[in-house]
Amino acid sequence: MSRRMNQLITVGFKKWCYNASGFNKYGLMRDDVLYENEDVLEALRRLPKHLLDERNFRIVRAMQIDSQKRILPEEQWTRYEDDVMYLQPYIKEVQKEREEREKWEAS
């Protein structure tokens, strides 16, 4: 197969997996459903207020919809192309600082 064909299959498979995960049917994004370990909690603490408010709204709405045994109308689902990994830069920063601190303490 050509490289272009592999990229198309890869993107198609990623979209399929994204839709199969189900969280997008509740209007959630990938970073909304991360396991909240120490690094993620610190990144959430550093997140700007408006992004944190948007995240909390999506989570509360998803919990409300799930409690009613419903999902959002399809036009309100989070699409793969629209999903923004808004928390990743903060997580990477926290991890980098933690690794730096661990190296400092080890020496």
Q: What is the C-alpha separation between 19 and 74, in angstroms, rounded?
A: 11
Which residue, 25, 26, 43, is CA-closest to 34?
A: 43
Q: Angle formed by the axes of helices 38-46 and 88-106, to 10°?
A: 120
Which residue, 73, 85, 62, 83, is CA-closest to 15?
A: 83
Q: What is the C-alpha separation between 58 and 63, in angstroms, rounded?
A: 9
pLDDT per position in the chain (107 positions), as tens? 567 767 767 888 889 999 999 999 999 999 999 999 999 999 999 999 999 999 999 999 999 999 999 999 999 999 999 999 999 999 999 999 999 999 999 98
Q: Which architecture, in CATH terms, is 28-106?
A: Orthogonal Bundle (1.10)
The predicted model scores a pTM of: 0.86
Domain boundaries, the chain: 28-106
CB 25 within 8 A of CB 58: no
